[in-house]
Amino acid sequence: QVQLVESGGGLVQAGGSLRLSCAASGNIFSVNKMGWYRQAPGKQRELVAAIASGGSTNYADSVKDRFTISRDNAKNTVYLQMNSLKPEDTAVYYCKLRNIRVAVNYDYWGQGTQVTVSS
């Protein structure tokens, strides 16, 4: 089992910055992928950014050049630095860890942290 604890959400004005953190503990595979998803009211959950244990990253087009995902493998922690925030970034942000094996993957989710960007 894996536990994920998120922190760093809050209220910020448009143009401001926030940094989210997600600390993972438990049975974490050496090959894994951690990522941030978000869900706004009335919308589906969407991928924001993800980073593999080897360091490769991918981002949603809407956040490229504004958000940066990074990770500290020694601490099993992933970060999301969010700059130039816009009101449309308002959502609950969820951390996800995928343990990866050849035949099967195991997904775990955090409880979510609210990010609110005021105009």
In this predicted structure, the answer to whether residue 77 has a pLDDT above a threshold of 90 is: yes
> pLDDT band at residue 29, thresholds of 50, 70 and 90?
very high
How far apart are alpha carbons 94 and 34 in whole angstroms?
Answer: 11
Q: Residue 71's closest CA among 82, 81, 63, 79?
A: 79
Distance, CA of 51 to CA of 44 (rounded, Å): 21
For residue 69, name the pLDDT band (cuts at 50, 70, 90). Answer: very high
> What's the pLDDT band for 102 if we cut at 50, 70, 90?
confident
Nearest alpha-carbon partner for 35 in 117, 103, 119, 105 = 105
Amino acid, res. 68: T
